[in-house]
Amino acid sequence: MKIGDRVRVVKLPGNLPDDEILGTKALFADCLGRVFPIVAFDRHLIELHVGEVRGEPAYMQSIWIEADCIEPA
């Protein structure tokens, strides 16, 4: 995988906090099954810009997700 490749979120990471204020778990859940381009890598994590799931420009929200939670789209 490389920056720009499109990937589908196929499962949620197991260690997500269920924080109502930040909405982390809800944001990840909204991404499930959707396709996003890879924006960056940091060690074992992959950054996806996902603002569109909240009706915003893609860059307004991002998630860092493990490679085993995504697949090539």
Note the pLDDT tens digit of each residue in 11-68. Answer: 999 888 887 777 889 999 999 999 999 999 999 999 999 999 999 999 999 999 999 9
Report the alpha-carbon distance of residue 62 to residue 59 in Å, rounded: 7
Residue 1 falls inside a structural domain:
no
Structural domain boundaries enclosing 49: 6-72
The answer to whether residues 45 and 52 touch, using CB atoms and an 8 Å cutoff, is: no
Q: What is the pLDDT of residue 17?
A: 83
Q: Are 37 and 4 in contact (CB under 8 A)?
A: yes
Residue with tokens 């490389």: 2
Q: How many CB atoms lie within 10 A of CB 4?
A: 8
Instruction: Identify whether 37 is part of a domain.
Output: yes
Are 66 and 28 within 8 A, CB to CB? no
Q: pTM of the entire structure?
A: 0.91
Task: Tell me how many domains the chain contains.
Answer: 1
Residue 16's pLDDT is: 84
Residue 59 lies in a domain: yes
Is 41 part of any domain? yes
56 in any annotated domain: yes
The answer to whether residue 23 sits within a structural domain is yes
- Give residue 21's pLDDT: 77
Task: Please report the pLDDT score of residue 28 as a whole number.
Answer: 95
